[in-house]
């Protein structure tokens, strides 16, 4: 089911976009980097502290109805469109490209996520997911430092920092200087919008997860990665990522421990 290519750089494993499990209905196209829901794969449950990395397209008028989470740090990154968030703490948020967002589920929280666009084609029609109002986002889950914390929500616009083309810390634990905090001191999520010929160095950490949200990049010691491809990196220091052919956007988890450690 999953295509894993261990490439010539020691400690690098590439997972190709077309190897991901897929959940699809009349309003949702979701691609799962890890085992999720009915797509259980005991060999692919997590990497480092990262348990979920879902690549979601939600049609206008569609969305995830109210549901619950507990003891999880959930970070959402929108690539296109706008996503409406409501939860049981009374929070109402609109997440759009360039806005970092996280929800700490803690002792228990219920929330809903819906496409902010009106139902122009509408779920239930064959071409609903081709509607230009479709919202595209990546949702990621990491485990918290401590269970049983008070649920909370945060979001912050980081578009100006992203415009530099550098790697920007958008969500991280205490001491990380990230734009928003998460309750996991051993993890930081970075993002970069690379211009054509742009180049960044990945953080050095025991576990680094690189996801290409859009575009094509070249990863040092591994080669070319396209939209939806990911690299799981163990113990490789400061590898370079370059957008050789055109603009690209990447998401990078820097993790200093793993589950069960």
Burial of 174 by CB count in 10 Å (0-12 exposed, 13-18 middle, 19+ buried)?
exposed
What is the pLDDT at residue 236?
87
In order of their start, the domains of the chain are: 4-255 (2.60.120.10)
What is the pLDDT at residue 124?
46
CA atoms of 79 and 99, how far apart (whole Å): 10
What is the pLDDT at residue 9?
37
CA angle 113, 118, 119 (to 5 degrees): 95
Identify whether the C-beta of residue 31 lies closer than 8 Å to the C-beta of residue 55. yes
Q: What is the largest CA-CA distance in the chain?
A: 50
Identify whether the C-beta of residue 17 lies closer than 8 Å to the C-beta of residue 4. no
What is the pLDDT at residue 111?
95
What is the pLDDT at residue 130?
75
The residues, ordered by sequence, that sit 6+ positions from 148 with a Cβ below 8 Å of its Cβ are 71, 106, 107
Which letter, b or e, does each residue of 213-247 get, where b requires 16 or more Cβ atoms within 10 Å of its Cβ?
bebbbbbbebeebeebbbbbbeebeebebbbeeee
What is the pLDDT at residue 28?
95
The residues, ordered by sequence, that sit 6+ positions from 209 with a Cβ below 8 Å of its Cβ are 47, 48, 50, 53, 230, 231, 232, 233, 252, 253, 255
Q: Backbone phi, then psi, for 162, in 5-degree steps?
A: -65, -30
Identify whether the C-beta of residue 248 lies closer than 8 Å to the C-beta of residue 211. no
What is the pLDDT at residue 260?
81
Q: Backbone phi, then psi, for 164, in 5-degree steps?
A: -75, -20
Residue 139's beta-bridge partner residues?
Answer: 54, 76
Residues of the chain with pLDDT under 70: 1-10, 118-129
What is the pLDDT at residue 132?
82
What is the pLDDT at residue 120?
42
Alpha helical stretches, state H, the chain: 159-162
């Amino acid at each position: 089911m999953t295509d894993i290519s261990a490439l010539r750089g020691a400690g690098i494993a590439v997972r190709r976009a077309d190897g991901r499990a897929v959940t699809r209905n009349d309003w949702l196209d979701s691609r799962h980097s890890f085992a999720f829901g009915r797509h259980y794969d005991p060999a692919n449950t997590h990497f480092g502290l990262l348990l979920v990395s879902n690549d979601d397209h939600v049609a206008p008028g569609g969305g995830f109805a109210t549901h619950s989470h507990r003891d999880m740090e959930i970070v959402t990154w929108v690539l296109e469109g706008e996503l409406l968030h409501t939860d049981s703490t009374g929070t109402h948020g609109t997440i759009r490209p360039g806005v970092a967002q996280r929800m700490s589920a803690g002792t228990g929280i219920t929330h809903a996520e819906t496409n902010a666009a009106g139902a122009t084609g509408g779920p239930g029609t064959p071409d609903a997911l081709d509607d230009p109002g479709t919202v595209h986002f990546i949702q990621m889950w990491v485990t918290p430092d401590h269970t049983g914390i008070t649920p909370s929500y945060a979001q912050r616009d980081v578009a100006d920092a992203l415009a530099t083309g550098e790697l920007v810390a958008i969500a991280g634990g205490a001491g990380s200087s990230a734009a928003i905090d998460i309750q996991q001191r051993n993890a930081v999520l970075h993002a970069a919008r690379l211009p054509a010929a742009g180049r960044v160095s990945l953080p050095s950490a025991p576990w680094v997860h690189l996801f290409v949200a859009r575009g094509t990049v070249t990863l040092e010691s591994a080669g070319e990665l396209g939209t939806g491809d990911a690299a799981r990196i163990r113990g490789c220091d400061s590898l370079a990522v370059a957008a050789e052919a055109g603009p690209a956007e990447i998401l990078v988890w820097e993790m200093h421990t793993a589950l069960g450690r």
